[in-house]
Structure 1
Amino acid sequence: MERLQKILAQAGVASRRKCEELILAGKVEVNGEVVTALGTKADPANDVIKVSGKPISGENKIYIIFNKPKGVITSASDPKGRKIVTDYMKGIKERVYPIGRLDYDTEGLLLLTNDGEFANLLTHPKHHVPKTYLATVKGVPHGTSLDKLKEGVKLEDGMTAPAEVEYKDINEDGKESVISITIHEGRNRQVRRMFEAISHPVIRLKRISFGDLLLQNLKRGTYRHLTKEEIESLRQMAKAGLSKGNNTRKDT
C-alpha cells in the first residue's frame, strides 16, 4: 500500500505536488469512489485508480507468469531484507506487482502485472477463478477425508467452498501422498489449513495452474510474458465466473 499521490506520480500522471492538487480537487477515484484525503493509501496491483474518469496508464501494461521458488516473499518489498519475487524480474523496467499471494514456503505459479484493473478482476472473490495445487501431505487421506474437502471444511474464518481433489501419488510406505486440489477462493494459507483440518498437514505445496493458465515446463525462478490470448482468456474467465477447463483439465 502506498500514498495515492505517489502512485499517480509514478504512473506519470503529473508531479507529486500536482497529483495532490488533483486529489484535493476531487479528480481522483479509487475503485469507483472519489478520494479527497491526501493520506489515502492504495494498492496499484489491486485497486482501480482513475483520474478525471480515465484509468492511470503511465507505463506499458505488463503481464507475467513466474515460477516462484520456495523461500521467496510474495511482495514488491520486504523490510526484513528477504528475497522477494521482484528480485527475479531482471530486464523488466516497469514496476510490477504480484496478483494475489503465495506463502513463503509455497512454490509455483504466480502472476505479476502493473495493470491494477486486471489484478482486481482476477482476485475479486465473486469471480471464483480456480487455482490448482499439488499438495504433498503426511499420510494418506481416506476417501472420506477427501470428501470433506470436496464438500467444504470449517476453518476459523468460516466454511470453505467445495474443492476438487484427487490422488496423484502415494508413497509405498504410506508416509506421504500427493493430492491435487483446486480451490475457488483466496484465503490466507487456505490449502494448508484445509489439510490440517482433516489431520493431514502439508509437507510441500506447489501451485500449478491459475484459471486455465498452466505452469507447465517453466523453470523454477524464471518468468515469461503472457500472450495476448492468455491475457484475454483469463480476463474472460474471471468475468464469466467459471473455468471452461474446470472439468476437462487432466494434466494437473
Structure 2
Amino acid sequence: MISKNPEPRETGPQRIAKLLARAGVASRRDVERMIAEGRIALKGAVLTTPATLLTDLAGVTVDGKAVRPPSAPRLFRYYKPQATLTAARDPKGRPTIYDRLPQDLPRLIPVGRLDFMTEGLLLLTNDGELKRQLELPSTGVTRHYRARAFGTVSQAALEDLAEGVTIEGMRYGSIDANLERRTGRNCWIQMSLTEGKNCEVRRVLEYLGLQVSRLIRTGYGPFDLRGLDPGGVDEVDRNQLAQFRNSLK
C-alpha cells in the first residue's frame, strides 16, 4: 500500500548545497562548483562557501534569478538520442539533452549520465535528493543495457563478470551479462549492473576484446523505454514513484 502522507522533511538549518539540490537547481557537487564560480548569492551578497546554513531559500539567487522553493518530487523518462551530451552546456558546442528536451518541462536534472554516443533511458527529476537516492550504489538500483559489439566472446567469459573485474586499477563490481545473439562477427549482449561507473559497460566489453558500435540503456530500476521513441519524454506516475522509493534500501 502506498502511503498518502507526504515524505517527512528535515527541519532546522541545512547546507545551501542540499537545499538547492532539493529544489532541483543542480546536484550538490555542481552547486558547490557554482558557488566557487560566484553564481549564487544571498540577499545580493555573493556566497563564497558551500557550508552556508539556511532554513529556506528565501533571498537566494542563481545567476541573478530567484530560486523557487522545492515542489513535490517528480520523475521523467527520457529516451536520450545518440550524439547528445548529458550536461547543461558544452564548451565544444556539441548538442546537449537540454537542446533536445521540450521547453515546457520544469527545471530537471539527470539521474546519472549517459556518454555522448550512448542512447536510451535517462531519468530526469526536479529533486536533488531523489537524484542522489537513485544514484547511490548502496540503494542497489539495477541499470540494464544492450550492446552491439564487433568481435568474439563466449558466454563463459561473460559469466565471469559476475565476480567483478579490475581494469587498469579500477574495480568494477558484479555484472550480469548474457550473449543475446550473434550475426557473423557482430553480437548483441545484455548487461545488468548496479554501480554505473563512468563508461563502465564500454570499458568492460573492450577489456574482453570487443569493439562497441552501439550502446542502449534499456532500463533503470523498474523503469524502461516502453512507449518511447528517441527524443521522447514522459512523466512517471507519482504513485508508482512513491511505491518505488519505499522499496529502496
TM over 0.5: yes
How big is the shift at 1:189?
A: 0.3
Structure 2 residue aligned with 1:185: 195
CA gap of 1:162–1:210, structure 2 versus 1, over 3 A, is: same
Q: 1:202 aligns with which of 209, 212, 217?
A: 212
Correspondence 1:63 to 2:72? no
Structure 1 residue aligned with 2:43: 18
How big is the shift at 1:73?
A: 0.2
Structure 2 residue aligned with 1:152: 164
Correspondence 1:39 to 2:64? no
Instruction: Answer whether contact 1:131 1:209 (CA < 8 A) is retained.
Output: yes
Q: CA–CA distance in 1 between the matches of 2:147 and 2:85?
A: 19
Structure 2 residue aligned with 1:134: 146
Structure 2 residue aligned with 1:52: 55
Instruction: Answer whether contact 1:68 1:85 (CA < 8 A) is retained.
Output: yes
Structure 2 residue aligned with 1:249: none
Say what the alpha-carbon RMSD is for the aligned residues.
2.9
Correspondence 1:76 to 2:88? yes
How big is the shift at 1:97?
A: 1.3
Where in structure 2 are the equivalents of 1:233-244 lying within 5 Å?
233-237=243-247, 239-240=248-249
Q: CA–CA distance in 1 between the matches of 2:75 and 2:39?
A: 20
CA gap of 1:147–1:232, structure 2 versus 1, over 3 A, is: same
Partner amino acid for 2:55?
S
CA gap of 1:64–1:84, structure 2 versus 1, over 3 A, is: same
Instruction: Answer whether contact 1:62 1:94 (CA < 8 A) is retained.
Output: no
Structure 2 residue aligned with 1:114: 126
Partner amino acid for 1:51?
L
CA gap of 1:5–1:196, structure 2 versus 1, over 3 A, is: closer
Q: CA–CA distance in 2 between the matches of 1:65 and 1:181?
A: 20
CA gap of 1:110–1:157, structure 2 versus 1, over 3 A, is: farther
Q: CA–CA distance in 1 between the matches of 2:161 and 2:225?
A: 24
Which region of structure 1 is more displaced relative to structure 2, 131-140 or 152-161? Answer: 152-161
Instruction: Answer whether contact 2:81 2:230 (CA < 8 A) is retained.
Output: yes
Normalised to the residue count of structure 2, the TM-score between the two structures is 0.74
Q: 2:111 aligns with which of 99, 103, 108?
A: 99
How big is the shift at 1:143?
A: 2.1
Q: CA–CA distance in 1 between the matches of 2:221 and 2:127?
A: 18
Partner amino acid for 1:39?
T
Instruction: Answer whether contact 1:213 1:230 (CA < 8 A) is retained.
Output: no
CA gap of 1:222–1:157, structure 2 versus 1, over 3 A, is: farther
What is the identity percentage for the equivalent residue pairs of Structure 1 and Structure 2?
Answer: 29
Instruction: Answer whether contact 2:155 2:178 (CA < 8 A) is retained.
Output: no
How big is the shift at 1:176?
A: 0.6
CA gap of 1:107–1:141, structure 2 versus 1, over 3 A, is: same
Partner amino acid for 1:121?
Q
Q: CA–CA distance in 1 between the matches of 2:50 and 2:233?
A: 29
Instruction: Answer whether contact 2:38 2:48 (CA < 8 A) is retained.
Output: no
Partner amino acid for 1:204?
R
Q: CA–CA distance in 1 between the matches of 2:75 and 2:151?
A: 38
